[in-house]
Amino acid sequence: ALDALAPFLSKEQMDYHYNKHHASYYTNLKKLLEGKPETTLPEIIRTAEPGPLFNNAAQAWNHAFFWNCMTPPDKPKKLGAGLGGMIDKDFGSFEKFKQEFTAKAVGVFGSGWCWLTADPGKDGKLEIMPASNADCPLKYGKVPLLVVDVWEHAYYVDYRNARAKFVESFMEHINWDSCHRLFRHAGLAAELMKTD
């Protein structure tokens, strides 16, 4: 429901973000793909050159991913042992991860995203990836686990220009179950997962 995240995000904020901004990326993408062979959003993101096709495909996918990263205030937000162990290993502690993720999200210049990713080429090492505009970790072969949208349209109705306050609130509404499921399905840190 559009009001499910209130008071963190109001119904008005979600209505603009989901029904206007997110919907427009799909509308634009549909026009750009008319008469072209069927494909998937991840495939477009991986192969499209910079420009309207990549931007609209990535923004459609990024937003769909973002919705699953949040949970209503009354739902549990438990970080599983497997992902939690990797966060401790790669960042020193959850608190250090939280501080670094928040700082990098707030520090994105202009519009963009801040991702937590796993790098299969580095034994699943977790990395924080600030990204401008429509950029997406799929383009670089990384596995996205978490993202916060720091385009102004993501928070301006409720937070005006207070991006830091929005990001701090986001950190209290993360759907860790979703992040942990992605981590588990990515086949990362198998030894840690055995006791999960």
> pTM of this prediction?
0.92
β-sheet bridge partners, residue 117: 127, 144
Longest dimension (CA), the chain: 50
Q: Kind and range of the H or E element at 31?
A: helix 23-33
DSSP helix/strand/coil, 184: helix
16 SS3 class: helix
Instruction: Tell me which residue of 23, 47, 22 sits closest to 36, measured CA to CA.
Output: 47
Q: What is the pLDDT along the chain (196 residues), one digit of tens a residue?
A: 999 999 999 999 999 999 999 999 999 999 999 999 999 999 999 999 999 999 999 999 999 999 999 999 888 678 888 899 999 999 999 999 999 999 999 999 999 999 999 988 888 899 999 999 999 999 999 999 999 999 999 999 999 999 999 999 999 999 999 998 888 876 543 333 333 3
- Give dist(CA 111, CA 152) in Å, integer: 7
Q: How far apart are CA 161 and CA 177, in angstroms?
A: 30
Beta strand 112-119 pairing with 143-149: antiparallel
